[in-house]
Amino acid sequence: MLQKVKELDIQVEAFVPQSSEELEQFRIQMLGKKGAISQLFTEFKNVPVEQKREFGASLNILKTKAQEKIAQLKQSLEDKNVTSHNLDLSLPADPVKLGSRHPVALVHNEIVDIFARLGFTVFNGPEIEDDWHVFSALNFPPEHPARDMQDTFFVNQKDEVLLRTHTSSVQVRAMEAQKPPIRTIAPGRVYRNEAISARSHCMFHQIEGLYIDKDVSFADLKQTLLYFAKEFFGKDTKIRMRPSYFPFTEPSAEVDVSCSLCGGKGCNVCKYTGYLEILGAGMVDPNVLKASGIDDKIYTGYAFGLGLERIAMLKYGITDIRVLFENDVRFLEQFKSVF
Ligand code: DAH
């Protein structure tokens, strides 16, 4: 009898079912009413008294072991069923939603890339500035209206600490920090105390360009800007320079590009002029060179400054500047690019 218990124990130990039907069959075979283990219980009464104790104990152990093993196998077969029947592992995973670049960042990256090809490196300056770098060193007369509280956000008016109103301040920092030849562009945020409307904002972005060397001429400036315009707006783009005034350049010019929407024929974006104004430029005033520690008898240079929002609006046909700062995902996700 004990031998029989041992044999059944080995069978229970070794049993590996392929299916839940096979497992159920095994359960009936072992623990069913007429199963092998149940059979041994009915035979218990025939066991000689002196063996009853040992036989009874091992039979109980066998029964518990078989019950536990069957329960365990049942569970693992159920788990397997879940993975193999209810889950299709060949389905594609949930798509990862990629973000998109902000249109101002796209335009910024493209412009930095174009000027990098001409040897311009990026030079950064602070957004919180002093009067010297934003105005005085740039040849602004003391009574110039741009210094007025109307336009400038002062952080501390007594010490003349302010938010820069243009990135031209970085010109001064670049000249203070480097010796010519200097070829830098300075992208960044600028602030002006202006009413917010579809056309203007109190915070926007500019890129300032500066080139200082011996014998730099207005022709170099014109050719550089023409190259930029063709690279950015397309190879058929033309530029036009109109005389203008900035305290820090002499002579100064406003630069227009032929309208990329109508090709110069005239449309409502260029207001039927065929041209769009995109930047200010000129030859660096000798007073600015002197103020920044550059010998104006040896060196000349040109500078230019452009507004990124304006260029982004022209490029993408955006008619209201405010959408650029509202962070509306429905607007932003339209701009996908590798830049
Ligand atoms: N700083 C000017 C502005 O904010 C833009 C500008 C004009 C920059 C002419 C220049 C320049 O360097 O030469 O409107």
Identify the domain boundary among 51, 85, 119. 85
Ligand 1 atom nearest the C-alpha of 210 is 12
50 and 139 part of one domain: no
**Which domain CATH number covers 267?**
3.30.930.10
Ligand 1 center–CA 280 separation, angstroms = 5
81 and 113 part of one domain: no
* Ligand 1, residues at Cβ distance < 6 Å: 166, 168, 208, 246, 249, 280-282, 303-305
273 and 199 part of one domain: yes
80 and 132 part of one domain: no
Residue with tokens 């630069």: 255
- Tell me which residue has its CA closest to atom 12 in ligand 1: 304
Domain hosting 54: range is 2-85
143 and 279 part of one domain: yes
Degrees to nearest 5, angle at CA 327 with 323 and 333: 90
Identify the domain boundary among 21, 56, 85. 85
Ligand 1 atom nearest the C-alpha of 244 is 9
Token couple for 121: 């490196």
Identify the domain boundary among 58, 85, 112. 85
Q: What is the pLDDT of residue 85?
A: 62
110 and 70 part of one domain: no
CB 161 within 8 A of CB 128: yes
What pLDDT tens digit does each residue of the chain (339 aa) get?
Answer: 778 888 888 988 888 888 888 888 989 998 888 888 888 888 888 888 888 888 888 889 989 998 998 888 888 887 776 665 677 888 888 888 778 899 999 999 999 999 999 999 999 999 999 999 999 999 999 888 877 766 899 999 888 999 999 999 999 999 999 999 999 999 999 999 999 999 889 999 999 999 999 999 999 999 999 999 999 999 999 999 999 999 999 999 999 999 888 888 888 888 899 999 999 999 999 999 999 999 999 999 999 999 999 999 988 989 899 999 999 999 998 987 655
DSSP state of 15: -
* Residues with Cβ within 8 Å of residue 329, at least 6 apart in sequence: none
- Tell me which residue has its CA closest to atom 5 in ligand 1: 305
Ligand 1 center–CA 245 separation, angstroms = 10
78 and 161 part of one domain: no
When divided into structural domains, the chain yields a total of 2
* Residues with Cβ within 8 Å of residue 2, at least 6 apart in sequence: 51, 54, 55, 58
Q: What pTM does this model have?
A: 0.72
74 and 109 part of one domain: no
